[in-house]
Amino acid sequence: MIFNPKMECMPREDMHKLQSERLCKIVKYCYERVPFYKKKMDRLGLSPDDIKSIDDIVKLPFTTKTDLRDEYPFGLQAVPMSEVRRIHASSGTTGKPVVATYTDHDIEMWSEGVARVMSCANVGKGDVIQVSYGYGLFTGGLGAHDGANKVGAIQLPTSAGNSEKQIMLMQDFGSTVLACTPSYALHLAERIEQSDKVDINNMKLRVGFFGAEPWTEGMRKELESKLHIKAFDIYGLTEMSGPGVGGECEEQNGTHLWEDMFYPEIINPDTLEPCAHGEFGELVFTSLCKEAMPIIRYRTRDLTRLIYEPCKCGRTAVRMDKILGRSDDMLIVRGVNVFPSTIEAILTEFPVFTPQYFITVDRKNNEDMFDLDVELRNEFFSPNPSKQMPFIKPLYDRIVSVVGIKPNIHIKEPNSIARSIGKAKHVNDKRNFHR
């Protein structure tokens, strides 16, 4: 089902026109209402009248996470506080969080984004959507919740954590849809598998909406087979609103971005120049119709590429390839770039391993060390190191050939690598302490 055929299937020339109209309007709006934007544009000698179409977007300055932190909490807000209905903030592990504020219209628009994603999977009336994203300042919980409301589904706001109860309710209430991070979905799937009280065959789950962190095709297969669902990717970020900036259709050949609301660009993060069509680079978004806190050319640090070919589903909305990771999550080990998600992708090629892993990077004798903890599936595990060797060798060889670094692989007991109820933490880079 297509939630908003007019927007999702708009001919590209019409979309170009709509984006142009919206960009001109939002730039003028920001210039007049937010001193931060006025200052930045004045410095470049740019006036809102210089922006005549969406193609002029490249003239505009970027906005970075540091800008948002500097303007904490409400410096980028374009409306008086009395117009604001909701405040969210992203996790921001260090320092001040990044704040997002919303008017009624913004919440409406945000939930429409999520509703479009849910409709991609034909989720709607009668579906019980178990929202196991955290509720709170994090946009995951309430974002999915409002989207579920918009498609007319039944909202089951379990939030994240308390897995035993999650599973009990999933069974007793007949949840048909699970919405959470892929790592938490995997954790729930493992717990269901290990339990003798519940049987996945007696559950009604049929769809999963997983996002908020990168995940691989291997993880999709794992979740689909363990939970008996079709798993859909949902993408978003607090700075644009939250989850539902885009999502996968049933073709699952990329994430459709709702570009009538969020205009995507791909730039080269070093030169800041636009990339050629189809090239990988950093994703940049402009919110085209947000009222409370519109953001112009926000550098997401997410690395991906855009696909403009039409999709078989009938939507014309541009698609985004799976996100490799954030540029700031990329590890440089002995001069080699490593994305944690590549390790997940490799691990899931090996049926003997679970997709759980943890990377520790350290520096010893002026050399980077890359330690990788992995888990064998129960049926293959033996505490005897000599019995582990035959499993380690092929994994080691594959990592050397794909990634180009030599890992120290450690096989851990089943279930011993820490599970996450939200966004997983896969890396401890101890070098940061030595520098």
Binding footprint of ligand ADP on the chain (CB under 6 A): 90-92, 139, 211-214, 233-238, 300, 302, 323, 326
What is the length of the chain? Answer: 435
Residue 326 contact partner, candidates ligand ADP, Zn ion, none, CB within 5 to 8 A by sort of partner: ligand ADP
* Closer residue to ligand ADP in complex, CB, 148/283: 283
Name 384's Cβ contacts closer than 8 Å, sequence gap at least 6: none
Residue 311 contact partner, candidates ligand ADP, Zn ion, none, CB within 5 to 8 A by sort of partner: Zn ion
User: Which residue's entry shows tokens 């519109």?
Assistant: 294
> Least Å distance between CB 284 and ligand ADP?
11
> Least Å distance between CB 50 and ligand ADP?
29
Residue 158 contact partner, candidates Zn ion, ligand ADP, none, CB within 5 to 8 A by sort of partner: none
DSSP character for 240? Answer: T
Per-residue interface string for the shown chain with Zn ion, residues 294-333, x marking contact by CB under 5 A:
-----------------x-x-x------------------
> Least Å distance between CB 106 and ligand ADP?
15
* Closer residue to ligand ADP in complex, CB, 200/231: 231
* Closer residue to ligand ADP in complex, CB, 48/218: 218
With CB under 5 A as the contact rule, the residue among 56, 83, 224, 251 that binds Zn ion is 251
> Least Å distance between CB 213 and ligand ADP?
5
Q: DSSP of 40-72, one letter per residue?
A: HHHHTT--GGG--SGGGGGGSPPB-HHHHHHTT
Residue 313 contact partner, candidates ligand ADP, Zn ion, none, CB within 5 to 8 A by sort of partner: Zn ion
CA distance 413 to 434: 30
Residue whose C-alpha is closest to residue 287's, from 128, 46, 45, 113? 113
With CB under 5 A as the contact rule, the residue among 84, 249, 345, 411 that binds Zn ion is 249
Contact 192, 167 (CB under 8 A): yes
Residue 251 contact partner, candidates Zn ion, ligand ADP, none, CB within 5 to 8 A by sort of partner: Zn ion
CA distance 319 to 232: 14
Q: DSSP of 122-142, one letter per residue?
A: T--TT-EEEE-SPPSSSHHHH
Residue whose C-alpha is closest to residue 261's, from 139, 105, 38? 105
CA distance 399 to 412: 18
Residue 300 contact partner, candidates Zn ion, ligand ADP, none, CB within 5 to 8 A by sort of partner: ligand ADP
* Closer residue to Zn ion in complex, CB, 288/318: 318
Which residue pairs from 227-230 have beta carbons closer than 8 angstroms and sit at least 24 positions apart in sequence?
Answer: 227/178, 227/185, 227/188, 227/189, 227/192, 227/200, 228/200, 228/201, 228/203, 229/178, 229/205, 230/121, 230/206
Q: DSSP of 94-106, one letter per residue?
A: SSSPPEEEE-HHH
Residue 286 contact partner, candidates ligand ADP, Zn ion, none, CB within 5 to 8 A by sort of partner: none
> Least Å distance between CB 93 and ligand ADP?
7
Provide the binding-site residues for Zn ion, judged by CB under 5 A.
249, 251, 311, 313, 315
